[in-house]
């Protein structure tokens, strides 16, 4: 008589997975999220201007008769903000950018965010006069999607020491563009004509924008004490005086 505890255990067959009901793709109910932001900028050729110690400070005068808000002058950033960039992907750079521009108007911060993102300006060596030139601001002071902002941008030519001035316009955001680009082109033509008609303008042409080179060895300007981000600069981005090199 076989003993019951000596009987071999029977292996149970693995449970079959529940049948999957195929769903055709055209019958799936999905939720979709999207955000479309579109920013644009226009930049003119450079105009050579006479060398004066206060030339960058006179940039707001070039917007007389065009600006719908007060003109804000933004000078080159010192070396402590060398990594500043308007992008949240790099928190350290974004924090520097906020610290450098938190005291500016909402219009100026928005313009810098758009134009720096599009690489239209570089505050390592350029001075920027910005104002609202067309359209309206919202309740918080930011330009609407169809508003045009911008103004003259200047820097000192490293080869000749002359002041180079160009016009930069920006617009965009979330919304329908309409005829904004056409209006910006007409506005750019008027601004550039006003720049060429200004006293001392000598030449209009394509000028290669310099590339700022960062490094540890920098010398402060002996005239105004400004320490530039670009370690190769031979002309102070702020006052335009020749830098003393050892």
User: Using one digit for the tens of pLDDT, what is the confidence trace for 55-114?
Assistant: 677 889 999 999 999 999 999 998 888 889 998 899 999 999 999 999 999 999 999 999
Mean pLDDT, the chain, whole residue set: 83
Angle in degrees, 0-180, between the axes of helices 106-117 and 91-101, rounded to the nearest 10: 140
| H or E stretch covering 191 | helix 180-196
Asked if the structure places residue 63 within a domain, the reply is yes
**9 or 122: which carries more pLDDT confidence?**
122
| 103 vs 115: CA distance, rounded Å | 18
Cα–Cα dist 126/18, whole Å: 67
Residue-number span of the structural domain to which 100 is assigned: 38-205
Which pLDDT value is given to residue 6? 52
Does the residue 89 lie in any domain? yes
In a domain, 117, yes or no: yes
DSSP 198: S
Q: Give me the pLDDT at residue 114, please.
A: 96
Q: Given this model, what pLDDT does residue 2 score?
A: 57
Evaluate whether residue 15 is within a structural domain: no
Is residue 233 in some structural domain?
Answer: no
CA distances from 134 to 66, 128, 129, 192 (A): 8, 18, 15, 16
pLDDT for position 246? 45
CA 186 to chain centre: 22
Q: Has residue 217 got a pLDDT over 70?
A: no
For residue 49, list its beta bridge partners. 163
* Cβ-based neighbours of 220, under 8 Å, separated by 6 or more: 226, 227
Question: Is residue 236 assigned to a domain?
Answer: no
- Count: domains in the chain: 1
Distance CA 111, CA 1 (A): 96
**155 in helix, strand or coil?**
strand
Exposure of 161 in the CB half-sphere (CA atoms within 13 A): 11
Higher pLDDT, 229 or 65: 65
Q: How far apart are CA 49 and CA 195, in angstroms?
A: 10
Q: Average pLDDT, stretch 101-128?
A: 94
**Domain assignment present for 69:** yes
Most confident of 48-57, 133-142, 209-218: 133-142
Question: Would you say residue 219 lies in a domain?
Answer: no
State residue 16's pLDDT score: 78
pLDDT digit string, tens, across residues 173-214: 887 667 899 999 999 999 999 888 877 777 776 777 766 666
Question: Per-residue pLDDT averaged across 110-124, rounded?
Answer: 94
């Amino acid at each position: 008589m076989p003993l019951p505890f000596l009987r071999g255990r029977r292996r149970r067959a693995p449970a079959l997975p529940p049948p999957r009901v195929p769903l055709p793709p055209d019958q799936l109910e999905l939720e979709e999220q999207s955000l479309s932001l579109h920013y644009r900028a226009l930049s003119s050729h450079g105009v050579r201007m006479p060398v004066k110690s206060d030339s960058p400070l006179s940039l707001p005068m070039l917007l007389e008769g065009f600006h719908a808000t007060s003109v804000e002058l933004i000078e080159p950033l010192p070396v402590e903000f060398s990594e500043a960039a308007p992008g949240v992907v790099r928190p350290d750079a974004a924090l520097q950018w906020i610290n450098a521009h938190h005291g500016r108007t909402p219009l100026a911060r928005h313009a810098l965010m758009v134009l720096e993102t599009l690489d239209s300006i570089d505050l390592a060596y350029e001075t920027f006069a910005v104002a609202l030139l067309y359209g309206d601001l919202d309740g918080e002071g930011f330009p609407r999607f169809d508003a045009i902002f911008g103004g003259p941008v200047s820097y000192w030519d490293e080869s000749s020491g002359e002041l180079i001035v160009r016009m930069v316009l920006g617009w965009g955001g979330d919304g329908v563009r309409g005829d904004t680009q056409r209006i910006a082109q007409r506005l750019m033509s008027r601004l550039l004509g006003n720049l060429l008609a200004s006293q001392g303008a000598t030449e209009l042409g394509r000028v290669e924008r310099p590339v700022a080179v960062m490094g540890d060895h920098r010398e402060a300007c002996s005239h105004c004490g400004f320490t530039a981000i670009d370690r190769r600069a031979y002309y102070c981005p702020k006052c335009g005086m020749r830098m003393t090199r050892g």
